[in-house]
Structure 1
């Protein structure tokens, strides 16, 4: 492959990977390019020391960036050659990628690539518009192709349990000053020029309650922040789904992140957004209860609600100069 072509592919992939989703928009990744290979590393300075002491959410975030790199390479006409956790002596090196054989990107891959910068996280209720069952089944298959399982929660009782666990976890974390200060660290005040964290316009000041109620993060802790957008009609819960893996290793956390981004981009291509509720997964006793009682023994890696929203949102990402070595 010509050097000029390789440079274009690698530059496009890293530029797009900045737009992957991450917990609190921490963007906990660094990239480096040497010859025709991209290295993806964890930026451990951006790890949540309280809410994510194990680094699980950090690796899920980086896994989402990895799927983005793979997708762009395919869109550029090359099958990516990927090595995950290639060096046990360098635990922060999560993956390497280089362009492999020439391919013709299919229609779905091109559609996924087109959603990378358009996809947005939602932090309120959804419009009363159903998500087609056929789309949900496609999302299930998308997660499965990355080694994870996406399970739509069809039982009303199970949805009530997950909502109650979310409220309980949020209630406990709200009383813990360490959790609250860590969340507020990644909350951007109105008018902030920061290129990471959750912007004040990214969540409603007073979110209407869904039924059952799924507690939201308190990004405005002790501040009068949040969007004034009229969301009185956005009170639907949407489709509750849990992303799980058979085990709970670092490899499976990265797999979960790749599955998550595959699901999110596919959903976005059909006008469906996701709201995340990870509080319960940050408290190991509650996560273990969820694993045993709701997830059939598999390890829950992400809880989300899927639905349709008509709110326009903005998002920010760090410039390439800050994430590329």
Structure 2
């Protein structure tokens, strides 16, 4: 068994970890090597005080990055044993990974790993093609494999109930000037390594839309390009809502997103009903679920696109200082 991971291994797998999603593409993570283990931490300088005052979004993002880390290490034949929140005195450290018994990657790990670079949030209207039952089952299994749950909303009533909660939460958030200013600050009209490019922001929302759209500077859509009237909406959740539960949910979210990408699906995330506490509780009650909703999603088949940019890996690494 390998004694510990090396700087070269950390650098290689961090390039996959940073492909995880994050609120406004803030990329709120840092990676370091400590006593042969890889440690993943929340970067407090990239927290969103108005959008994410509790740190839920940053922990979800780091959980998604953690799943990518685990996957990249497994595909390299060097799987890791993971301990979540290993240092009570340092809650910013999300996880510590140490080498486990070497083994060959499974076919599922290889397929999911291949989807990392192809995953992106698609905020444009989807095609009307239905998602097959077998693929829906795979999405649910992906969440369960990471100790989460995925509720696929079936029927007009369930989708409309979610839409009303989401629209209500969206209105609450948009009345907060600090929230709006923070979102605008992360829109990028010029090439950048973080934030949301205006071209990837999706079309502007219109009154007839069922689900709310964040204003990321997208253009008005062409006539006849309305969003799908009966979208496949999913809600991902966890057993509880502690910091550890949120990290677990982030891993489950990323596994669902990569499973969807591997199946040729597009996904856009709908976090407004999670960001407003009253809306989150209303959503939980509407689902009749124990546990806590952690993310809403719109899933379907859409136009090919590209992932948003990422910072260079060396900007997110805290490497040991070489001794003179």
Same fold (TM over 0.5): yes
Partner of 2:192: 194
- 2:231 is equivalent to residue 254 of structure 1: no
CA spacing shift, 1:203–1:105, aligned 2, 3 Å: same
Partner of 1:84: 84
Q: CA deviation at 1:208?
A: 7.0
- Paired positions, count: 317
Partner of 1:177: 177
1:16-71, CA deviations, whole angstroms, 9 ceiling, x for partnerless residues?
Answer: 11111111111000011235321100011211212211111110010000000000
Mapped contact 1:201–1:313 kept (Cα < 8 A)? no
Mapped contact 2:5–2:99 kept (Cα < 8 A)? no
* 263-272 or 99-108, which deviates more: 99-108
* Aligned-partner SS, 1:89: coil
Report the Cα distance in structure 1 between the residues aligned to 2:167 and 2:4, rounded to whole angstroms.
52
1:261-304, CA deviations, whole angstroms, 9 ceiling, x for partnerless residues?
Answer: 00101110111121111112111111111122324232110000
Q: How does 1:101-250 map to 2 (within 5 A)?
A: 101-189=101-189, 192-206=190-204, 213-220=210-217, 226-227=218-219, 232-233=224-225, 235-236=227-228, 237-250=230-243
Report the Cα distance in structure 1 between the residues aligned to 2:316 and 2:305, rounded to whole angstroms.
27
Q: CA deviation at 1:177?
A: 0.8
Q: CA deviation at 1:203?
A: 2.2
* Aligned-partner SS, 1:101: coil
- 2:270 is equivalent to residue 277 of structure 1: yes
Please, which runs of 5 or more residues in structure 1 have no aligned partner? Answer: 221-225
Q: CA deviation at 1:232?
A: 4.3
TM-score scaled by length of structure 2:
0.91
**Root mean square deviation, CA, Å:** 2.2
Report the Cα distance in structure 1 between the residues aligned to 2:279 and 2:240, rounded to whole angstroms.
17
Mapped contact 1:209–1:235 kept (Cα < 8 A)? no
Please, which runs of 5 or more residues in structure 2 have no aligned partner? Answer: 319-324
CA spacing shift, 1:6–1:229, aligned 2, 3 Å: farther
